[in-house]
């Protein structure tokens, strides 16, 4: 297995690192160095023997897959969560995440090496703690690190010598150094000597069949060399490729870059959709044509907005961090604003289409197809479908939704809705709605049938291009 990083064009082999600006000086006293080496070597020995207990904090879309990878590598794993229902579900061997498959958790439990707890004090039992908690946006689009801070304070209360703590949550550069490290240092233990701290960003994509968690290269950065070495050794036991980088800040910024790259390109095609639609040009046909170029172009598709935990949030994390550093990120902030505006554009297109057919939006009934943020998953984090439903209600429409992956609409941070459940579909029911809005193009949707039976079909995904019959508009 390869473990390497590219730093300024030169290859840096595993086991070497260069300090980040502002990094604390390495204690060169022989006794201190020997103590750090002893603690690190003892932990590495447990990792190599697969006797190290790996704690995973947060049993969600990030925590469960990495827990699975660690169990598969032979480690005993203890999962932590604050949701009692989820803990009970996992203890029964049931998977709360549809895309992982119904047998995923049962298989983990059958090994006898996977347990779950509500008790944060049991973090003292773990040799390594991988922290996978949410990092949403707070007021004024500032980062909300409340879950990270609460978790680290809880860990600090029971932190013992010889433990490794790794933050996996997506965040802004210097979080590990400026937020996490001081909280753990408050334990009185010496970072890089008594305990070890690293940052390794998650790269999960719910619903994607390949690559698997074990096949996705892992970035690992830290505030000191020994911490990085220990973290690299742990991840190298569970994933095929580990890429050490010179600092935690590089790993933090790299994760933001990955997601902002997508956010910016999606914003571009979303804006292009608005412009080309006004010119009566099919944006999807344009993208298809451009995609024939074998170099210098990657296709992104427009939609009703951005969803998921990372891509809608990361531009604002970096923008906030840039302002704090006295800089600006105008282009990145603009991309975030464009993507946020897309649900409103879709509602405007739908309202105009209804008005042209003699039906005002106020008082109309609209059925939204798809509540998940992307096709064939049950993940609703940041889903624009919630924003669409909320906005349609505000404008006086009666709304409902159908999504076989999401039987009951959960409460979400980014929209306020009354209790809603997925409605069954049949031809008679479909015909009662004034408009049907395709927000998520699940593979299970019979689009030709839906188009034939809907009074008005509004497609925000471009999924019905080429279908014959029915009253269809693109939004």
Is omega for the bond preceding 211 within 30 degrees of 0, making it cis? yes
- Count of C-beta atoms within a 10 Å radius of residue 74: 13
* pTM flag (> 0.75): yes
Q: Tens digits of per-residue pLDDT, 244-260?
A: 999 999 999 999 999 99
Owner of token pair 């297109």? 349
Q: Which string of b and e fits 222-251 if b means at least 16 CB within 10 Å?
A: bbbbbbbbbbbbbbbbbbeebbbbbbbbbb
Round to whole Å and give the CA distance between 38 and 141. 44
Known catalytic residues?
310
β-partners of residue 421 are 408
| pLDDT tens digits in sequence order for the chain, 475 residues long | 333 333 333 233 333 333 333 333 334 444 445 555 689 999 999 999 999 999 999 999 999 999 999 999 999 999 999 999 999 999 999 999 998 988 999 999 999 999 999 999 999 999 999 999 999 999 989 999 999 999 999 999 999 999 999 999 999 999 999 999 999 999 999 999 999 999 999 999 887 877 999 999 999 999 999 999 999 999 999 999 999 999 999 999 999 999 999 999 999 999 999 999 999 999 999 999 999 999 999 999 999 999 988 888 999 999 999 999 999 999 999 999 999 999 999 999 999 999 999 999 999 999 999 999 999 999 999 999 999 999 999 999 999 999 999 999 999 988 999 999 999 999 999 999 999 999 999 999 999 999 999 999 999 999 999 888 889 999 9
CATH number of 271-474: 3.40.50.720
Q: Which CATH architecture has domain 4-246?
A: 3-Layer(aba) Sandwich (3.40)
The closest alpha carbon to 59, from 20, 15, 26, 108, belongs to: 108
CB atoms closer than 10 angstroms to residue 281: 12
DSSP 15-29: T---PPTTPPPPP--
Q: Do domains 4-246 and 271-474 have the same CATH topology?
A: yes
Residues 12, 14: Cα–Cα separation, whole Å: 7
The whole-number pLDDT of residue 125 equals 98
CA separation for the pair 409, 418 (Å, rounded): 9
Looking at the DSSP bridge assignments, the partners of residue 128 are: 54, 164
pLDDT of residue 54: 98
Phi, psi of 75 (to 5 degrees): -85, 145
Whole-number pLDDT of residue 19? 34
Domain residue ranges in the chain: 4-246, 271-474
Helix (H) or strand (E) holding 340: helix 330-356
Structure tokens that stand for 141 in this block = 């689009």
pLDDT of residue 208: 80
How far is 84 from 79, CA to CA, in rounded Å? Answer: 12
Residue 67: which H helix or E strand, with range?
Answer: helix 63-72
> What CA–CA distance (Å, rounded) separates 285 from 470?
20
Rounded CA gap, 100 and 208, in Å?
Answer: 10
As a residue count, the chain comes to 475
Spatial separation of the C-alpha atoms in residues 207 and 100, rounded to whole Å: 8
């Amino acid at each position: 297995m390869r473990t390497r990083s590219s730093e300024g064009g030169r290859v840096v082999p595993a086991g070497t690192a260069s300090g980040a600006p502002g990094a604390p000086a390495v204690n060169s006293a022989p006794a201190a160095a020997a103590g750090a080496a002893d603690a690190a070597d003892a932990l590495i020995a447990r990792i190599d023997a697969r006797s190290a207990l790996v704690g995973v904090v947060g049993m969600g879309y990030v925590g469960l897959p990495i827990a699975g990878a660690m169990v598969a590598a032979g480690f005993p794993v203890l999962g932590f969560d604050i949701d009692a229902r989820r803990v009970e579900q996992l203890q029964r061997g049931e998977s709360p995440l549809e895309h992982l498959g119904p047998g995923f958790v049962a298989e983990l439990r059958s090994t006898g090496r996977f347990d779950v707890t509500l008790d944060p004090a049991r973090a003292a039992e773990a040799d390594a703690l991988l922290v996978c908690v949410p990092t949403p946006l707070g007021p004024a689009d500032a980062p909300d690190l409340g879950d990270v801070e609460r978790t680290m304070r809880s860990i600090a209360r029971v932190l013992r010598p010889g433990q490794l703590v790794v933050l996996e949550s997506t965040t802004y550069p210097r979080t590990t150094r400026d937020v996490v490290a001081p909280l753990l240092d408050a334990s009185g233990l010496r970072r890089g000597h008594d305990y070890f701290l690293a940052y390794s960003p998650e790269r999960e994509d719910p619903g994607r069949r390949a690559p698997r968690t074990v096949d996705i290269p892992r970035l690992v950065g830290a505030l000191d060399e020994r911490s990085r070495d220990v973290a690299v050794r742990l991840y190298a036991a569970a994933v095929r490729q580990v890429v050490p980088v010179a600092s935690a800040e590089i790993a933090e910024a790299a994760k933001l870059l990955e997601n902002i790259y997508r956010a910016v390109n999606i914003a571009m095609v979303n804006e292009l959709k608005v412009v080309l639609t006004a010119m009566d040009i099919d944006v999807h046909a344009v993208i298809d044509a451009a995609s024939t170029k074998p170099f210098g172009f990657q296709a992104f598709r427009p939609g009703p907005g951005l969803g998921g935990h990372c891509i809608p949030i990361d531009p604002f994390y970096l923008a906030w961090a840039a302002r704090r550093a006295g800089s600006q990120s105008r282009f990145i902030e603009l991309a975030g604003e464009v993507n946020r505006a897309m649900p409103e554009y879709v509602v405007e297109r739908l309202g105009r289409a209804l008005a042209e057919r003699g039906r005002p939006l106020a008082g109309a009934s609209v059925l939204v197809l798809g509540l998940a943020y992307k096709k064939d998953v049950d993940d609703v984090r940041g889903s624009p479908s919630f924003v669409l439903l909320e906005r349609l209600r505000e404008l006086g429409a009666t709304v409902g939704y159908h999504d076989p992956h999401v039987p009951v609409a959960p409460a979400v941070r980014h929209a306020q809705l009354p209790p809603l459940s997925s409605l069954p579909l049949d031809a008679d029911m479909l015909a009662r709605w004034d408009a049907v809005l395709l927000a998520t193009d699940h593979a299970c949707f019979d689009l030709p049938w839906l188009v034939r039976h809907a009074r008005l079909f509004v497609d925000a995904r471009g999924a019905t291009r080429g279908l014959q019959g029915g009253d269809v508009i693109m939004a």
